[in-house]
Amino acid sequence: MNRIFSGIQPTGNLHLGNYLGAVRNWVSLQHDYECIYCVVDLHAITQWQEPEELRKSTREVTAALIAAGIDPKKNIVFNQSQNPDHAQLAWIFNCVARLGWLNRMTQFKEKAGKHRENASVGLYAYPNLMAADILAYKGTHVPVGEDQKQHLELCRDIAQKFNSDYGVEFFPITEPLIFGTATRVMSLRDGKNKMSKSDPSEYSRINFTDGPDEIAKKIRKAKTDPDALPSEAKGLEGRPEAENLVGIYAALSDKSIEQVLAEVGGKQFSEFKQMLSELCVEVLGPIGNEMKRLVAEPQHIDAILRDGADRAREMTHPILEEVMDIVGFVHPLKG
Ligand code: TYM
């Protein structure tokens, strides 16, 4: 049986990269699979978060997922800290994963920067908790953007090493699901950098909550080159900003890059940007409005998270009990 798990950090606003690389795919997968979507607050605190902001962001991100079309009754939507089984399995994985594996993680290197010695131990062990998130449910498929690929390879290594260390076929070897035309949306200010919540420039990203004027302004100011748009994909080579904007347009309109270029080839960026703004407003506008409506009812959001967490725990509890058995812990069900 396929079981889908994915997670998203409640650190600030969700942006177009989160939507096109992940959330949109989560929405489409819910029709065919059992899906578990987690707001990963334990991961968020690997870098210091102002407590009230963290609480607010957790509710906002939950609202965004629901506004984007995820049905919290059909799926499980909850915040990670409400299911302690994640942290318990993560400890076991801290003892399975090797330092050498974690030393290779590019996200740690990027986030820790030059001050590696000052980074939290949690930031270093971050991928182990991520593996625990997935494997606590025996998740088989994980829909993510391109930037999470290395973490998912580590999850496979952990599952394999656990299985071989204990001589069991217990954890599945999870497959990443990276699909769509925008698996890596780039910054609007620099086509060589990923669109990210941590970029200091607000003009680098489009947020779920941006209104039509903000969206139009950000796209108008987006970096481009002076040439007109090409009519074939090979004309995008060496033009990262053009490639990014065309990729965003293709993803938002559910078309291929070739189809989009057949339509807009020869146009100047001023005209194309106008088309892109309108499309962005058309897709994100209703999501942003619904999100604002949901955020105004925090009790409703909290009830969804509570209910999701209860159902999540029902799934992980028997799996964790088996893990404790395999590892050799004495626990109530074992004499
Ligand atoms: P996070 O919160 O950084 O991002 C959430 C999802 O959005 C995708 N994404 C992007 N996709 C395309 N272009 C971009 N510019 C872009 N920016 C972000 C990410 O790939 C991700 O799918 N470590 C994870 C959260 C996590 C998780 C998990 C994911 C924790 N446990 C278990 C899967 C399974 C993260 O920080 O995502």
User: Cα–Cα distances in Å, from 140 out to 21, 193, 249, 277, 318?
Assistant: 19, 30, 31, 37, 17
Place of tokens 């578990």: 36
Given the CA of residue 145, which atom of ligand 1 is nearest to it?
20
Percent of the chain with pLDDT over 90: 96
Average pLDDT value for residue range 288-302:
96
How far apart are the CA of 226 and the centre of ligand 1, in A?
Answer: 33
pLDDT exceeds cutoff 70 at 333: no
Is the CB of 144 inside a 6 Å radius of any atom of ligand 1?
yes
* Pocket flag, ligand 1, residue 21 (CB < 6 Å): yes
Residue 331: per-residue pLDDT: 82
Q: Which residues are catalytic?
A: 111, 194, 197
What is the residue with the minimal CA distance to atom 27 of ligand 1?
7
| Ordered domains of the chain (ranges, CATH) | 3-182+297-327 (3.40.50.620), 202-293 (1.10.240.10)
Assess whether pLDDT exceeds 80 at residue 237.
yes
Please state, rounded to an integer, the average pLDDT across all residues of the chain. 96
Confidence check: pLDDT of 297 > 80? yes
Q: How confident is the model at residue 69 (pLDDT cuts 50, 70, 90)?
A: very high
pLDDT digits (tens, 9 = 90+) for 14-46: 999 999 999 999 999 999 998 999 999 999 999
Instruction: Specify the ligand 1 atom closest to the Cα of 129.
Output: 31
Q: State which ligand 1 atom lies nearest to the alpha carbon of 194.
A: 15
Phi, psi of 240 (to 5 degrees): -60, -35
Segment 108-136 shows an average pLDDT of 96
- Ligand 1: which residue has its CA nearest to atom 36? 9
pLDDT value of position 332? 75
E strand or H helix at 218: helix 212-221
- Predicted pLDDT of residue 335: 53
Question: In which band, very low, low, confident or very high, does the pLDDT at 184 lie, cut at 50, 70 and 90?
Answer: very high
The yes-or-no verdict on residue 104 having pLDDT over 80 is yes
pLDDT tops 90 at residue 60? yes
Q: Is 44 in the pocket of ligand 1 (CB under 6 A)?
A: no
Spatial separation of the C-alpha atoms in residues 139 and 123, rounded to whole Å: 23
Distance CA 279, CA 219 (A): 11
Return the number of other C-beta atoms located less than 10 Å from residue 67's C-beta: 21
Confidence of residue 334 (pLDDT cuts 50, 70, 90): low
